[in-house]
Amino acid sequence: DVVMTQTPLSSPVTLGQPASISCRSSQSLVHTDGNTYLSWLQQRPGQPPRLLIYKISNRFSGVPDRFSGSGAGTDFALKISRVEAEDVAVYYCMQATQFPHTFGQGTKLEIK
């Protein structure tokens, strides 16, 4: 199985400041069809996960443009340009390139 490793596991940030989360996969996530199926999920306290970003950098419907994704191959990142209070959550990267789909351990974003 592809192992997804996120860093950091906890990220205290100041409101209005940027935040960044890294995700590394144990194997390339480039699919045979040429796409890279790396997604980012947000899970707010008491809520189910919800999709933020798919195929590395595509924002899902309704996701604010302060969220952006980047990367290629095995190294990926999620960036929040200016953190707002509603961004307090656990963020997960997920790969859907190889079977079974696998998730990172999660990064807890909290306000300083």
- By the criterion CB under 8 A, which residues form the site for other proteins? 31, 35, 37-39, 48-51, 54-55, 60, 92, 94-97, 99-103, 105-106
* C-alpha to C-alpha distance for 87 and 84, rounded to whole angstroms: 5
Name the minimum Å distance from CB 16 to other proteins: 29
Instruction: Tell me whether residue 47 or residue 112 sits nearer to other proteins (CB atom).
Output: 47
What's phi and psi for 3, nearest 5 deg? -95, 130
Q: Smallest gap, in angstroms, from Cβ of residue 39 to other proteins?
A: 4
Nearer to other proteins, 88 or 96 (CB): 96
Closer residue to other proteins (CB): 16 or 32: 32
Q: How far is the CB of 106 from other proteins (least distance, A)?
A: 6
Least separation in angstroms between residue 70's CB and other proteins is 16
Q: Is the CB of 54 or the CB of 67 nearer to other proteins?
A: 54
Integer Cα distance of 109 and 93 in angstroms: 14
Q: How many residues does the chain have?
A: 112
